[in-house]
Structure 1
Amino acid sequence: MPRIRKPTTTTAQRKPGKRAGLDLQQIVDAARLIEVDALSMQSLADSLSVDRKALNYHVKDKPTLLGLMAMDAFSARFSGTDIAAADSWEDACRIYGMGFFEGVRSVGGLAEYLWFGGSVAAWALEPSEALFQRLKDAGFADEAAVRLVAMLISMSLSHARDAAQAVAEGDRPRTRALKAALRDAQPVAYTNLSRIAELGVDTYGTTQMEVVLDMLIAGARTRLEKT
């Protein structure tokens, strides 16, 4: 997946907003060197030794900038290189889903700024093209393939954000909330939940993602066999 980059222009060709000769990749690279808490449009302009208006030509505000940083980090981890070479469509789905999960998780606290729509849709062209080809070759109808890939994305994104929350809070939020609720309830009325709360199953890591993918793929395989 190519990194974010706009075509360069000569000095004579630059419009007023391009006087500094910046492109998006330069801006993102510079922003990555500044702590998120200290990052602002002005601090970034200062680090690049440009007027803030030069940044506004490319990036309108800090949330947009954080979104670009997250997308850049994500696209560096999520690639379609191995999908076409997978041994089966099931493995292709696993590679896609796990790559998506790891890509989102790699951006850490910036995950909330990832937005997979609009002009940044190019993040997934290569891996998605490869996956849809594998699904077509396996016999999936286009609508079924679209629904399967949408579920892969939704579940991978949701789980990655869950994992980021667990890291940020230093524990397992669902287990903590369940134990807190049981402390204020009658334990004998919730024997199953009390047992589950003490198991200590980690539902935030890679193992959980693997289980999610296995279950989703098993369901997709069953539907494919029926049709």
Structure 2
Amino acid sequence: MQAVAEALGVDPKALNYHVGDREGLRALVAFDVFATELRRVELPADGDWRLVVRSYAAALRDAFIRLGVLATSFHLPAASGLGALAPVERVLRSLLDAGFDVEQAGRALTLITETAYTAGRAAVLVAQNRVHPNVPEVVSALQGAASDDFPVLREVLASREGQTPDHGQLEFDLTVVIAGLERVLAPEGGASTPVR
């Protein structure tokens, strides 16, 4: 903190008063990096809501990845500042224009944001560990099991061997989310499904 205060040209006591500790400083820097990345996002202005959702989620994931080692210091929600809120407004407008009501759009935004955040967090963990941290634990557990136990889980792990750990995961997640949102928008019978 002393070195940071010197680099900023401020009194260390003032820095400690406003920031508190090292983790507080890391959280502020992480927020700044994330907000800067979100301000750079340009979502399609007149695009289909599905394209807007996919673009937003990819940008959010990428912003989280840019945090790198600071990712553990960043927690949602963290979108304060007008620049960081512009993409959020664009997604909401796109959902409303597609026919979702305000409550549905808000819930959809939460789901999309959490999906992208999770994808970004997983990508950072993989970058730091070269493999998702859960994989070695599962492999270790399977080594202690009989060879004919958990055949489907073994097949899933084998099918992913050699792939980058997040290979297609966000795209799959978004395909499922969008399919669900389409169902909310136009279920059988034509009436929209109420939010529960």
Tell me, yes or no, whether TM beats 0.5.
yes
Q: Hey, which bits of structure 1, 4+ residues long, moved more than 4 A?
A: none
Q: Are residues 1:185 and 2:150 paired?
A: no
Q: 2:47 aligns with which of 87, 99, 121?
A: 87
Looking at structure 2, the residues matched to 109 and 162 of structure 1 have their Cα atoms a distance apart, in angstroms, of 13
Q: 2:57 aligns with which of 89, 97, 101?
A: 97
Q: Residue 224 in 1 paired to residue 167 in 2? A: no
Corresponding residue number in structure 2 for 1:74: 34
Which whole-Å CA distance do the structure 1 matches of 2:107 and 2:172 have between them? 19
1:52 paired with 2:12, answer yes
Equivalent pair of 2:122/2:166 in contact (CA under 8 Å): no
Cα distance, 1:117 vs structure 2: 4.0
AA paired with 2:171?
E
State the 1:79 CA deviation: 3.6
Residue of structure 2 equivalent to 1:121 = 80
The 5 A counterparts of 1:10-29 are none
Aligned to 2:123: 163
Flag the 1:185–1:65 CA change in 2: closer, same or farther, 3 A: same
Q: Which residues of 2 match residues 142-157 of structure 1 at below 5 A?
A: 142-157=102-117
Q: SS where residue 82 of structure 1 aligns?
A: coil
Mapped partners of 2:143, 2:169: distance in 1: 27
Return the index of the structure with the highest Cα Rg: 1
1:186, distance to aligned residue in structure 2 (A): 0.7
Identify unmatched segments of 5+ residues in structure 1.
1-40
State the alpha-carbon separation in 2 of the partners of residues 184 and 85 from structure 1: 54
Q: 1:181-218: per-residue Cα shift (whole Å, max 9, x none)?
A: 11100111222122222222547436211211121111
Aligned residue-pair number: 186
Give the whole-Å Cα distance in 2 for the aligned partners of 1:133 and 1:148.
Answer: 12
Spell out, residue by residue over 1:100-152, the C-alpha distance to the aligned partner (whole angstroms, 9 max, x if none): 1100111011112113347x533631111111111111100111111111011
State the Cα deviation string for residues 14-59 of structure 1 (Å, max 9, x = none): xxxxxxxxxxxxxxxxxxxxxxxxxxx1121233343202323542
Is 2:122–2:132's contact at 8 Å kept on the other side of the alignment?
no
Q: Look up the equivalent residue of 1:207 and give its one-letter code.
A: G
**In structure 2, distance between residues paired with 1:62 and 1:88:** 43
8 Å contact from structure 2 (residues 131, 165) kept in 1:
no
What SS does structure 2 have at the residue aligned with 1:121?
coil
Q: Counterpart amino acid of 2:148?
A: V
- Mapped to 1, the partners of 2:18 and 2:41 lie a distance apart of 30
Aligned CA-pair RMSD: 2.1
